[in-house]
Amino acid sequence: MAPGSSVFKEVLESHLMSSDYETGKAKSEAKSNNASTKSSVGLNGKNGVSSNNGVYELLGCSVCKNLMYPPIHQCPNGHTLCCHCKVEVHNICPSCHHELGNIRCLALEKVAESLELPCRYQNLGCHDIFPYYTKLKHEQNCGFRPYNCPYAGSECSVMGDIPTLVAHLKDDHKVDMHDGCTFNHRYVKANPHEVENATWMLTVFNSFGRHFCLHFEAFQLGSAPVYMAFLRFMGDDYEAKKFSYSLEVGANGRKLIWQGIPRSIRDSHRKVRDSQDGLIIQRNLALYFSGGERQELKLRISGRIWRED
């Protein structure tokens, strides 16, 4: 068990993506100058020639160094930056310290319309070229877009495809791996009244040839201490909707049952938790289910995963 519940969010806008992939993207795009491609993988992709590197560099934000998309702002001296960084620098140009105001660099926005660039995930297998303003839309849905590590017990910056993450969870995080579509897990914690926020070890299930992550944690819902269990699917949302799952907890003739659709790991652990999309158990009820003197958590949760026809 590890305290806290830190996770990484997948952010779809270019200026908020992982710096590691920004670096990889910049290098791959620079290497693609004057190179054509024959691939047809992706969203509205087409063969083409990447832009001139000098023009490409003009479209890099002076603050975050990522590609800029409209509105592109500039100061009275012509220094440009993206709309996100304009807010971050409190409307003051970081180059000359003049107030930015609301000046748009319409010329640079127009230049961008004529450019074609490779997908940022070119080094992961996507070799299409896209018009500048449709590149970002493609990258939001690119089949080569990596996933964040779903482990929620500690901060983890690892990204990759599903096989890579499954091996990473097993080898680096030492998570429990199980085969099958039914499960019965017991969660134990001494002195539960002293713990307001905690995350139990992640469990991964291999069912129907796909992988699912079972989360269980304690946190405050408003002023009420609760426990929550939920399932995430290691894949995209459209695939997750092909499955359903149920969770059940109870004792002494009483029972709570939850049924839902597993959430894709594209949705962060915190996003799923904060949306309360799972089995939520008030602490007093959880201790009642635990039996005894209600001084120790001994909660047994059973569940089932099935494929929707």
Q: 77 lies in which domain range?
A: 54-141
Neighbouring-strand partners of residue 207: 210
237 and 159 assigned to the same domain: yes
Do the domain assignments include residue 192? yes
All residues at 6 or more sequence positions from 138 whose CB lies less than 8 Å from its CB, including other chains: 42, 43, 44, 45, 119, 128, 130
Q: Which of 141, 174, 197 is the last residue of a domain?
A: 141
Long-range Cβ pairs for the range 240-243 (8 Å, 24+): 240/264, 241/308, 242/307, 242/308, 243/208, 243/210, 243/212, 243/305, 243/306, 243/307, 243/308
228 and 101 assigned to the same domain: no
78 and 156 assigned to the same domain: no
118 and 202 assigned to the same domain: no
99 and 166 assigned to the same domain: no
Do the domain assignments include residue 40? no
Whole-number Å distance between alpha carbons of 40 and 129: 9
The tally of domains found in the chain comes to 2
Beta strands in the chain (DSSP E): 73-74, 80-81, 116-118, 129-131, 147-148, 159-160, 176-179, 182-190, 198-199, 203-207, 210-221, 224-233, 243-251, 254-260, 263-264, 279-282, 296-307
Both tokens of 202, joined, read 């992640």
Do the domain assignments include residue 240? yes
Do the domain assignments include residue 27? no
Q: Which of 126, 141, 156 is the last residue of a domain?
A: 141
Residue 218: give its domain's CATH number.
2.60.210.10
188 and 119 assigned to the same domain: no
pLDDT tens sequence for the chain (309 residues): 444 433 323 322 323 233 333 334 333 443 333 333 333 333 333 433 344 566 778 888 989 988 888 899 999 999 999 999 999 999 999 999 999 989 999 999 888 888 888 898 998 889 999 888 888 889 888 988 999 999 986 779 999 999 999 999 999 999 999 999 999 988 888 887 776 788 888 999 999 999 999 999 999 888 889 999 999 999 999 999 999 999 999 988 899 999 999 999 999 989 999 999 999 999 989 998 988 777 788 899 999 999 997
pLDDT of 39 reads: 31
254 exposed, middle or buried (CB, 10 Å; 0-12, 13-18, 19+)?
A: exposed
Long-range Cβ pairs for the range 283-289 (8 Å, 24+): 283/192, 283/193, 283/218, 283/224, 283/225, 283/226, 283/227, 285/256, 286/192, 286/227, 286/249, 287/192, 288/251, 288/252, 288/254, 289/249, 289/250, 289/251, 289/252, 289/254
Do the domain assignments include residue 49? no
203 and 249 assigned to the same domain: yes
Q: Which of 141, 164, 194 is the last residue of a domain?
A: 141
pLDDT of 275 reads: 95
Do the domain assignments include residue 62? yes
Residue 76: give its domain's CATH number.
3.30.40.10
With the CA atoms of 47, 53, 54 and 56 taken in that order, what torsion angle do they form, in degrees rounded to the nearest 10? 60
135 and 153 assigned to the same domain: no
Cβ atoms of 281 and 177 within 8 Å: the answer is no
Both tokens of 288, joined, read 């009642």
Do the domain assignments include residue 46? no
170 and 241 assigned to the same domain: yes
123 and 151 assigned to the same domain: no
157 and 240 assigned to the same domain: yes
82 and 202 assigned to the same domain: no
pLDDT of 53 reads: 60
Coil, strand or helix at 5: coil
The DSSP letter of residue 89 is T
Do the domain assignments include residue 74? yes
Task: Report which of 123, 137, 205, 196 is spatially closest to residue 169, judged by C-alpha positions.
Answer: 205
